[in-house]
Structures are given as C-alpha cells and as structure tokens.
A and B are shown apart, each in its own frame.
Chain A
Amino acid sequence: DIQMTQSPSSLSASVGDRVTITCQASQDISNYLNWYQQKPGKAPKLLIYDASNLETGVPSRFSGSGSGTDFTFTISSLQPEDIATYYCQQYDNLMVTFGPGTKVDIK
C-alpha cells in the first residue's frame, strides 16, 4: 500500500499570506496526485488534479506542483474563505489513499 504524509498537520496564516502544504508518497506515483478542500460539515471539493491542473472554476490563487513522490500545494494569497482542511490523494494501480490532511486557519 502507498502511504501518504502531509505537512504541516495544521497552520495559521494571515490574510494575503502565501501558504504551502507538502505531500509525500511512500513510492513513485508519477503525477497521480490530487488536492481537495474540505470545509466543516461539507463534502470535499476537488481543486487540483494530475498534480498541477486546476479544476474548472477554482480560483487561480490555488496551485500544485511535483511528481514522483514529492508534491506541493500553494495558496498564493490566503483569503478568509480558504479556511478549511486540505487533503492530498494518490492513485496507483486502481487504489486510492488520502493524506491525513492539513487544517488551515487565519491568524
């Protein structure tokens, strides 16, 4: 099984700050890495697919990069509505696992 780690597990930042979350896979997953945003009481929302592709309708302040085992998710300018937990998700050989999540709030 491929294990996913995310760091940090939580962070506090000010409005307008650049926020970066990292995700690491236990083995090479090429670019089969997606990022989701989940607000309290809501279903997750797909933000980034294939490591770096922005889902339709998602603001351009969100971005992703990486391949292989190391991936990065960035919010270029944190907005109040970005308060949420962010999950990475990998796909390999028909199996899916999610990272443990990163909780983002406003300082």
Chain B
Amino acid sequence: QVQLQESGPGLVKPSQTLSLTCTVSGGSISSGSYYWSWIRQPAGKGLEWIGRIYTSGSTNYNPSLKSRVTISVDTSKNQFSLKLSSVTAADTAVYYCAREALSSSFPRYYYGMDVWGQGTTVTVSS
C-alpha cells in the first residue's frame, strides 16, 4: 500500500526558507486522481492545511500562506516538496504530507486525506 515519508532539516533559522520533501512509496505518485498535500500542526494546536499539488504541476495554496509557499513535484523521483520562505517562530510545527482524493471537474468529489506521512518536526530558531 502507498506510504508517505517526510524528510528535511529539523531546525531552520528565522527569515530563512523551510524545505521539506515527501517521498511516496508503494505506488506511483502519478497514478489515480490524487492530489498531494502538506498540512502542519503547531505543538498542542490544531491542523492547518498548507496546500496541494497535482502531478500536472497544478497547485492550490492556503490564502494565509500563499505568498510564502511553493509546492513542487518530481514524478521521476516519486516525490513532492514544500518550500516556505521567510519563516518565523510561528512556523514551528509538525509538518505532514498526505494524499488527497478529489476531483475539481465533473463529477466533483472530495474524499479527504486517506494516506498520511508520520510527520516531521520543524523548529524555527536561531
């Protein structure tokens, strides 16, 4: 079955760019009508959706983060990546990648995030 694994630095300095990669195993990132998403969760707090990408390269971002977020995909490596620029302490969180089942064209559907990575903790500190 499909599994996701996040990787990247656990410590990022303020004002720098956070970079994470999610590696998809057990299946092709290009198969099926799936999008690939990033979600984060500050310690003791709720979940915040960051954005998603389709293997065509089409992206959607949370408006509150859009100016600082870039999500990209590398189908040859079965990976997708997150870059978050100009980070501050408020960006300290556990970052998850997830598979999302949705169709934005007829027939529309949204079946949620059915596969998640284990999460990786990123701390923003000097």
Contact = CB atoms under 8 A, between A and B. Distances in A.
A44 B116 contact: yes
Interface of B: 37, 46-49, 60, 62-63, 96, 98, 102, 104, 109-114, 116-119
A15 B48 CA distance: 31
**Which applies to chain B's interface (DSSP): helix, strand, loop or mixed?**
strand
A98 B47 contact: yes
**Which applies to chain A's interface (DSSP): helix, strand, loop or mixed?**
strand
Indicate the size class of the contact surface on chain A. Answer: 20 to 34
B49 A96 contact: yes
B54 to A, nearest CB: 11
B62 A46 contact: no
B113 A44 contact: yes
A95 B63 CA distance: 9
Contact of A1 (B63, B111, B118, B119): B63
Interface of A: 1, 32, 34, 36, 38, 42-46, 49-50, 55, 87, 89, 91, 94-101
A1 B110 CA distance: 18
18 contacts: A32-B110, A34-B111, A36-B112, A42-B118, A44-B96, A45-B116, A46-B113, A50-B110, A50-B111, A55-B112, A91-B102, A91-B110, A94-B104, A96-B37, A96-B62, A98-B47, A100-B46, A101-B46
